[in-house]
Amino acid sequence: MQRIHGHTYLRHSSSPLLFATLALCCGLSLHAQERAGPGWSRQAIAEDMDHLIAAFERIAPVPYQWTDPASVRSRRDSILAHLPDTVSRGEGHRALAKCIAAYGLGHSQMVFWRPYLDSSLHFPFDVKLRDGRLLVHRNRSNDSAFVAGTEILSINGIATERMVPELLACSGFEREETRAYMVGYAFAYLLPFYFDQHGRLFRITA
């Protein structure tokens, strides 16, 4: 643990089992150069969205019960309208995930398996969502002050009141409680994938 300028910086305390799991996954992790590479253009994201929509329409010409083609394309246009000309990889992942989530299919997520193969997992807490708040469920850090139930207000300067709605919007599960559960369950994986947080130190405000 380090305390700098009044903030608490935490390191993950790895258990032998976790270390072994990460060692097995390291060969399947995201390439470092991809994580550190430049962002994407809005035009490239629009083309990817069109490709995804066309693929869904080929696979299932009859619309799913949770949506219709016009609604999905309307959602696409709305997402693109709020994007700048260039976005980070995390922002690009979120934009594509929100488009896919418009289908309301819980297991049709943005590269559903890929975050679980990221060997850079370092976030030191298991968390859960309750009423839109991000709470510590299990503390795996070296700072015992973060007891279960502690609300996390920001991570590396990113307010969780902004982060949580974004992550929920990336989930395609139709039930609100299911989305909240899955975001909490997979949070340590979603944080680097959707918010580009790959470091080993975390500035936590609680």
Cα–Cα distance, 148 to 4 (Å, whole number): 24
Provide the pLDDT for residue 142. Answer: 84
Provide the pLDDT for residue 175. Answer: 86
- Which residues, 6 or more positions from 117, have their beta carbon under 8 angstroms from its beta carbon? 25, 28, 29, 30
200 and 99 in contact (C-beta within 8 Å)? no
Give the pLDDT confidence of 138-190 residue by residue, as tens digits: 998 888 899 999 999 999 999 999 999 999 999 888 888 999 999 999 898 89
Task: Give the DSSP H or E segment for 125.
Answer: strand 125-130
Cα–Cα distance, 200 to 121 (Å, whole number): 8
pLDDT beyond 70 at 118: no
Token pair for 69: 């083609």
Closest CA to 188 of 197, 177, 178, 201: 197
Provide the pLDDT for residue 114. Answer: 59
Provide the pLDDT for residue 154. Answer: 96
Provide the pLDDT for residue 173. Answer: 84
Query: What distance, in Å, lies between the first and last C-alpha atoms of the chain?
Result: 15
Give the pLDDT band of residue 14 (cuts 50, 70, 90): very low
Provide the pLDDT for residue 28. Answer: 25
CA torsion, ordered 71, 73, 77, 78, to nearest 10 deg: 20
pLDDT beyond 60 at 204: yes
10 and 144 in contact (C-beta within 8 Å)? no
136 and 127 in contact (C-beta within 8 Å)? yes
Provide the pLDDT for residue 57. Answer: 83
Token pair for 169: 């919007």
- Would you tell me the crossing angle of helices 89-101 and 160-169 to the nearest 10 degrees? 50
Give the pLDDT confidence of 15-73 residue by residue, as tens digits: 333 332 222 223 222 332 233 356 789 999 999 999 988 888 887 766 566 778 888 89
- Which residues, 6 or more positions from 158, have their beta carbon under 8 angstroms from its beta carbon? 195, 197
Q: Of 77 and 14, which is predicted with more confidence?
A: 77
Provide the pLDDT for residue 110. Answer: 63
Residue 119 CB-half CA count within 13 A: 14
CA angle 48/50/54 to nearest 5° reads 120
